[in-house]
Amino acid sequence: SQQGEEDPQALSIQEGENATMNCSYKTSINNLQWYRQNSGRGLVHLILIRSNEREKHSGRLRVTLDTSKKSSSLLITASRAADTASYFCALRGGAQKLVFGQGTRLTINP
Amino acid sequence: DTGVSQDPRHKITKRGQNVTFRCDPISEHNRLYWYRQTLGQGPEFLTYFQNEAQLEKSRLLSDRFSAERPKGSFSTLEIQRTEQGDSAMYLCASSPGQANEKLFFGSGTQLSVL
């Protein structure tokens, strides 16, 4: 299966702390993307990292990709209450569809 | 610029009834995707269109599901003879049509089958 597996399934931290989520996969990919979903809403794209890239930054977000280990991590620094959401990694292989993992539910406590 | 629009936001139906959802993608986006999401799970791919052509359909999609994009703009997803297991959030997404690009999602249609 191309689906990514995310770890942890749930994460609860204090506001201001950093949050790290991981995604592991088994097949080759063209790129890996991270999305955020607030409860009952659609998904919002956060960042895309291509298979030939190792690290990307966007604001308080940092994504790494290790193709030899078939894993990626999403780091959110200086977390805020508004970061409370579910975070999904999504894989794009040779096909056009994007395959999503089961997500990490992040809760930021004030 | 409007985002991806889905209608209705919520749909409650009785088992055995047919339902139809509509998705209006971002204008000039060539690709349109349908996903299904149940509580606590990630979105599950259903099908996608390149303009009006339906290019891929999930093997998980039964014959009761059909999707169309007749003029390459809006799309409809119909579920015939609904079952309780069809209860889920149905998400639509679009993209410009370039390889490896990101998806823009609508807010979804929440279906409850009683």
Task: Give the pLDDT of chain B (114 residues) as one tens digit per residue.
Answer: 579 999 999 999 999 999 999 999 999 899 999 999 999 999 999 999 999 999 988 887 889 999 999 988 999 999 999 999 999 999 999 998 776 589 999 999 999 999
Q: Which residue has the tokens 């992040």?
A: A106
- Contact by Cβ (8 Å): B82, B21: no
Question: Which residue in chain B has the smallest CA separation from A103?
Answer: B42
DSSP B30-76: -EEEEEEE-TTS--EEEEEEETTEEEEE-TT--TTEEEE-TTSS-EE
Q: Which of B42, B100, B106 sits opposite A42 (nearest CB)?
A: B106
| Chain A interface disruption, residue of B5, B59, B103, B107, most A CBs within 10 A | B103
The Cα of B41 is separated from the nearest Cα of chain A by a number of Å equal to 5
